[in-house]
Amino acid sequence: MGCFPVIYHQHLFYANGNAVAFGDFYVSADGTNLLRSNRGWFRVNSQGAPEGSPGGDYASLYVGGQGYGGVTINGIGTIDTGGSIQCSDVYLRDSWTAGWGLLRMLKDLYNRVGALER
């Protein structure tokens, strides 16, 4: 397969046997299953199965920026961040929580400890 740079609506498009580049993005065609921005601040790719995993490959999404740690969301149910995560509440899927959010549980715990101290 040969290389052929093409200009389409003022945006650069490039393809060869290993990759496709369009605008500011790159897509692999070599089995690595990668889509990323040229600066690397956005990336979607497939990962091999984690060690000891009963499943196969999983997807990974990375969003970052210059001077920021970035966030990686993995298809195995993990979120990796170099900083903090901000949200209004967190709900756990355990029957023990009885449908309460983490914020409500912490407030309840705080009030019960406060009542014991009085």
Domain residue spans of the chain: 1-86, 87-118
Structure confidence by residue, pLDDT tens digits, 11-63: 577 777 778 888 888 888 887 788 899 888 888 887 666 666 666 677 788 88
Report pTM: 0.57
Alpha-carbon distance 5 to 3, whole Å?
7
Q: How far is CA 65 from CA 56, 69, 71, in A?
A: 30, 7, 10
